Amino acid sequence: MKEGSLEERVARIEGILEQVDKRLNHLESEIRDLRVEIRDLRAYVEGEIKGLGNGIMGEIGGLRRDLNNGFLWILGVLILKLSKPRLSRRGRAYT
């Protein structure tokens, strides 16, 4: 193993430490960017989920109105049907 002077070895170590520092700074920057991207994606997904929830609730409300209207219509038909006297085969009303 070839050894250099103390100054050469220290200079070499300083160069290595500068490279490590640059790489760590780059990694920190990438992590910061990823955190921002994740936060933005999270906000987008939450907005989409809320929008879908509102749409579903609107559809459920519409179905509920349709069912209520249909029920009232059927109830009205039944009341009319039951309130009219029925005729027998010979044309006389039942009671």
* Three-state secondary structure string covering 17-55: HHHHHHHHHHHHHHHHHHHHHHHHHHHHHHHHHHHHHHH
Per-residue model confidence (pLDDT) at position 93: 60
Regarding predicted confidence, which is higher, 28 or 93?
Answer: 28
Residue 92 lies in a domain: no
Task: Return the sign of the alpha-carbon dihedral for residues 57, 61, 62, 66.
Answer: positive
Per-residue model confidence (pLDDT) at position 12: 95
- pLDDT tens digits, one per residue of 4-55: 799 999 999 999 999 999 999 999 999 999 999 999 999 999 999 999 999 9
Please state the pTM of the whole predicted model: 0.56
Structurally, how many domains does the chain consist of? 1
Question: Which structural domain range is residue 36 located in?
Answer: 1-85
